[in-house]
Structure 1
């Protein structure tokens, strides 16, 4: 039962504090007032709110957005480790600077709308704005609303800029052959060919182990995936986290072609891999860091740099051009490299230890992109810049273009809905040939 309690204020005047029992039976304050009538009214209103099921108390809404997110939402919200890492970075960079010091109860839709407008004015892409508002901010306010920290949803109904859906460009078989030939090693070729033959995601592909492949039945079982994290988001402070389930949360089994199974079997035998060994592993000794070749340049033919902010120009291939003109052409960079090498040779600078790839055997995605995929893509000169993940798109498109059943392709790729798989119908460049042939036949009748 609620009640009012009399006390004496600092000025010696009587004050009345209203108390009520929350849903757990704990006594809480509904505020302090100058007379008993107002105090009684306050605790009666508080008890009425508890009876309605709105068992939050005013103090919870007075906490700042930053306090709620950092102490309540992030520690307790269930999400994948990789999602937690992404959310934390976006919250610290884009959300907290705007909403951090504001009390939860004071945040209104107009604040969210103004924040979206500012991000757009600052040059943020529509996709970034949609991710920050639609995924992160909505999730925070939805949880706060469900927990009755706030009693209306500030970001619900606030519109974000339209994200343009660009047509998907699919790697053709001819383009894949060029890319395949440009890969530097046989191991890289086998990994990329397995990707196009299976349609696996990067985390599923690089976590494949010998035990996952049945060479007799040619059945591949996808039951795990690996994600690469910052050590502070890893439960054990490591870099790679193996999850006992793929992205869709379900195991899947499908058959591979005889030729790729034979290649994988030969790879297993030549590398003498055990049952629990990774099919594709990263070894530091196999990929030594190459140094840039030193090219001798004739200083007299290099010319002068563009004018700097003071209108001064300097001769290329000199330290003054590198430092004062901020020139980063090959001769200027070579001059700076020579200067640093001479200092190290005379003991004036401590040589930095060569950077090694931080890995437990899994292939780092960024390393593979920079050292293997991007050079091969550039050498192949495809006319566009496909990502490694586009091999998965190509796998789906090739299967559907070849007449594979839509449901079979859905289960093979691990899509949650068949609508996702349908996006790959008619995505190859020659997909409209049948329509054009039909148009030609109709026109020829006339």
Structure 2
């Protein structure tokens, strides 16, 4: 299987601008770029597939450039749902610096900032040298722009396509960058960049565009900064344990897709995991492999081992074996409740509505179904004081084998 065929097998090819790209990817040494705007201080799981795509191509002799849009970040790529909030220069610079550190630490790609070649262009030069080459009828037929015509779109966001096209032109002229890769929602911007290159540099130029399918959740929504529950690549925003749990809980009908797109596991390894998923789904081997591979790739072996230690401690109830940092990670995904300090265990269960009534709570306690900080408690009159807290003023209540609650003791 050649490289292009493997990329198709992994579901990483949505569309290409020319059939020649297959031979270029299999046999050439392309300089290509992937871009993102600094609208947050970390990349998220939705970016991860694109970054791995760059890594896959790099391993086969191609040369990736990572563009972080210090200029386009001021404008905002049009969304189908409405205008973006404009960020201040200070926030954009802080985000750019954070992304620069993150990308350099994780992948070491060459990085460029489109503010460097955009900031000194005058409005007259912009309109004469670049805007003159764009037909408004062509621009309004781009998918995202078309969706916004009824609700309205500002000229600012409408002009984003021109700025991104200018990026492709600049990188072609200055770095011989001949391919842009983006999500399928970037098709219009990529083809506009190719058109600008042809108009400015001639029809014989050999440049290409490739789009990738967006990675979506089981409900069809995409991963992104604007979605709830964003999964960040920064360990300070999403801990290795949280990332592990997120991936381990992947639905059966999505896990093989994620294994293909988010890991470097071989075709044979993924096919074996697919067989295991089909024949013994209760073992969740595919989900374990997905979570382990991604966490190890992003947070190294230490991050994976920390995630596994927390997972095992919660499964076994041996919470006392975790150190302070692991304890903080362990409680992040728990349901957060609060109750006055000094209540009996029975009253605390009722006060927090963990139990619907004293009768229910007493049955759980007497039936060995309630653990406090990993230790079974069978006396309903045991006092819950701040001295018993697991970390800070938080108490961990486990009901049954899997249901955990983090109860803040107040007063």
Q: Do the structures match in fold with TM over 0.5? A: no
RCO higher in 1 or 2 (8 Å CA, sep ≥ 6)? 2
Q: Considering fraction of residues, name the structure with more strand.
A: 2
TM-score normalised over the length of structure 2:
0.21
